[in-house]
Amino acid sequence: MKEKNLNQSLKKLSLIAEWFEKQEEVDVEEGLKKVKEAAEIIKEAKKQFKEIENEFEEIKKEIEEE
């Protein structure tokens, strides 16, 4: 789920960046809304990069013989 969210977050951010790129006339109010939205997404996404320790488990192989 998380990894999907991360992908979606990056897509959403790309859309916001594109929106800014396309604006010919400056609409500060709408721009502010978009920046707020982007800041929220970035904040959430960054949580996933906060050095989450890896889990390591050694498991035994099942022996299969004939």
What is the Cα–Cα distance from 46 to 34, expressed in whole angstroms? 18
Examine residue 33 and tell whether it contacts other proteins (CB under 8 A): no
Q: To the nearest whole angstrom, how small is the minimum distance from the Cβ of residue 9 to other proteins?
A: 8
- C-beta of residue 40 within 8 angstroms of C-beta of residue 8: no
In whole angstroms, give the CA distance from residue 21 to residue 29.
Answer: 16
> Quick check: helix, strand or coil at residue 23?
coil
47 lines the binding site for other proteins (CB under 8 A): no
Contacting residues toward other proteins, per CB under 8 A: 2-3, 6-7, 9-10, 13-14, 16-17, 20-21, 23, 26, 28, 31-32, 34-35, 38, 42, 45-46, 48-49, 51-66
